[in-house]
Amino acid sequence: MYSYHGTIRVLVQVLWAYLLCGWTFGSELTFELPDNAKQCFYEDITIGTKCTLEFQVVTGGHYDVDCRLEDADGTVLYKEMKKQYDSFTFTAAKNGTYKFCFSNEFSTFTHKTVYFDFQVGEDPPLFPNENRVTALTQMESACVSIHEALKSVIDYQTHFRLREAQGRSRAEDLNTRVAFWSIGEALILLVVSISQVVLLRSFFSDRKTTTTRVGS
């Protein structure tokens, strides 16, 4: 049975490993990409490191963007045109600075909001100082399960946050179109009404003029 100090030590290890996962491995960003613009990001990666690039266009136009990933020598590892979202996993074959770019140069007047998550390397072991030859204790197994569940929660929260932002953008765009359509209909109705009144007045004005001439 675990002592009080042993339990505290396990919890501290869990928190420390969780903070390492959040701070050391990977970068996550949501940014504005203007029309006719290109934005690049750089990451230093060592050989043999497994990396994953995920991106999604949150708002703007047809929700598409060009994406390009190059290694340290400029070799293209990934290139897609007008993608709404995608995910690409690779293992670094060289040491150096890798570059990935998002381009909106094909759009003439619509800016985009792009989200990306670039994960570099695997998560560190939850218990790096433990002897992996022996089996995990009940407390350690519970901590590992909680750690994996927390990572899944973070992934789901990110996914639903992006879907909520995209849905809100679509709703606002639809609301704007409906508002302009309503204003257009109101203007057309006003023009038609004025035209009918002018047309009716012209009929009565012509009849009055004809009657006056006959009486004289």
Q: What is the DSSP string of 79-109?
A: EEEEESEEEEEEE--S-EEEEEEEE-TT-SS
Residue 20 lies in a domain: no
Per-residue model confidence as pLDDT tens digits over 135-168 = 667 777 777 788 778 878 887 887 888 788 878 8
Q: Clarify whether residues 147 and 80 are in a common domain.
A: no
**Which amino acid, 91?**
T
- Domain count for the chain, please give it: 2
Q: Clarify whether residues 146 and 175 are in a common domain.
A: yes
> What was the pLDDT predicted at 63?
86
Query: What's the CA gap between 111 and 51, in Å, rounded?
Result: 28
Per-residue model confidence as pLDDT tens digits over 66-96 = 999 999 999 999 999 999 889 999 999 999 9
> What was the pLDDT predicted at 134?
62
Looking at 60, 95, 124, the residue that finishes a domain is: 124
Percent of the chain with pLDDT over 90: 33
Query: What's the CA gap between 25 and 121, in Å, rounded?
Result: 6
Q: Clarify whether residues 50 and 105 are in a common domain.
A: yes
pLDDT at residue 122 above 90?
no
Residue 2 lies in a domain: no
| Beta carbons within 8 Å of 60's beta carbon, 6+ residues apart | 33, 107, 110, 111, 112, 113, 169
- Domain of residue 60 covers 26-124
Residue 15 lies in a domain: no
Query: What's the CA gap between 132 and 138, in Å, rounded?
Result: 15
* pTM exceeds 0.75 for this model: no
Per-residue model confidence as pLDDT tens digits over 37-68 = 999 999 999 999 999 999 999 888 888 999 99
The band of 108, judged by pLDDT with boundaries at 50, 70 and 90, is: confident
Residue 210 lies in a domain: no
Residue 72 lies in a domain: yes
8 Å CB contact between 37 and 112: no
